[in-house]
Amino acid sequence: MATSLTHVRIVGAGLIGTSIALALRATGVKVTLCDSDSRAQSLARDLMGEHNGEDGGIEDLCIVATPPNFIAEVIQAELSRNSQLRVMDISSIKTKPLHDVSSIGFDLSLFAPTHPMAGREVSGPQSARGDLFQGRPWILCLNEVDPELSRLVRDVVSRCGAIALDRTVGEHDQAVALVSHLPQMVASLLASQLLAGQGSEIELAGAGLRDTTRIAESDPALWAQILAGNSAALRPLLISLQNDLSHAIENLEDEVSMAQLISNGQRGRAVIPGKHGGQARNYTYLDIVIDDKPGQLAAIIETCAAAKVNIEDLAIEHTPGQQTGLITLAFSAEDSSIVAAHLKKEGWKVHPSR
């Protein structure tokens, strides 16, 4: 019985499984990576380079990185080759897989429910990266789990550079229903309303519609399992939304009611933490109008680097039919005035910070 990781087997060479494989491999752990889809397995093993994650030997830990519905089935197959199996689950929902695994009689103290809170709208091993989990929360539900397995799991999280957060299975499913599954469903429902629109209407779409529907690009097969699998936690939230929507429809002509609706949204928006996890930071923004051609952005960023300021965030906004662009840079208030002075001196069209 190993006290720290030496060999991990990962079943499922998708975005998450391959990213974990890359991260663990980079810290010297032997990784065996496999997938029932031979194309995904082959691509993922190629991505791992010379340590290409082939079969061989018995692992300390098996990470099941399949969509949630297949976890119990994978465990049954794995047991036939390793009767000492210790499993780490990384799926987006926790209650249902735990129930499935319990149903096949697997010892639950050897099954560790976890969830790395990192993902992308894109999927597959081609989207994997070893740093996907760097600094991201990784939820661990280990209170019923064997101490040795708990140690191995925490070692995985640490090697991936993630931040371990302990929760119960129920707390996890409640939280992701609110911050992940509800927004996914809302974005998808909103985007699907566009199918009834005319082209002459949709050509007026701006950044607001684009941002609000970005996550509607997510994978249907995976998300069907997530939404259906977490229906118990998700349903009350959807019903609350449904009630608020019905109330809004009834009171659509009432400006006091509409102002309250928008105001509630402002207050809700304000509780979302900013980047780096903590409280939302107050940045100062500089807007700079540029020509949409090579070298403009480079020159601006070069000026920032020369001024020894740290760019906290950056956005480029292009305008349709027009070959000008707008660069928005975020700084600390102090850095902002330093860099604004530099840029103005160089003749850039710097707009007042906000």
Q: Under 8 Å CB-to-CB from 310, ≥6 apart: which residues? A: 331, 332, 335
| Closest to a second copy by CB, 104 or 122 | 122
CB of 328 to a second copy, least distance (A): 10
Q: Which of 200-220 are b and which e, b meaning 16 or more Cβ less than 10 Å from the residue's Cβ? A: eeeeeeeeeeeeebebbebee
Helical (H) or strand (E) element with 349 = strand 349-351
Cα-Cα-Cα-Cα dihedral sign, residues 333, 266, 119, 210: negative
Cβ proximity to a second copy, 150 vs 188, nearer residue: 188
Give the nearer residue to a second copy in terms of CB position, either 85 or 139. 139
Q: Name the minimum Å distance from CB 273 to a second copy.
A: 6
Task: Give the residue with the Cβ less far from a second copy, 110 or 261.
Answer: 261
Q: How far is the CB of 279 from a second copy (least distance, A)?
A: 10
Residue 265: how many CB atoms within 10 A of its CB? 10
Q: What angle do CA 197, 199, 204 make, to 5 degrees?
A: 90
Give the shortest CB-90-to-a second copy separation in angstroms. 15
Q: How far is the CB of 37 from a second copy (least distance, A)?
A: 18
- Cα–Cα distance for residue pair 122/22, rounded to 1 Å: 17
Minimum CB distance to a second copy smaller for 38 or for 126: 126
Tell me whether strands 284-291 and 324-331 are parallel, antiparallel or unpaired.
antiparallel
Q: Report whether 117 contacts 91 (CB < 8 A).
A: no
- Would you say 109 or 218 has its CB closer to a second copy? 218
- The least CB distance from residue 259 to a second copy, in Å, is 4
Token duo for residue 247: 């109330």
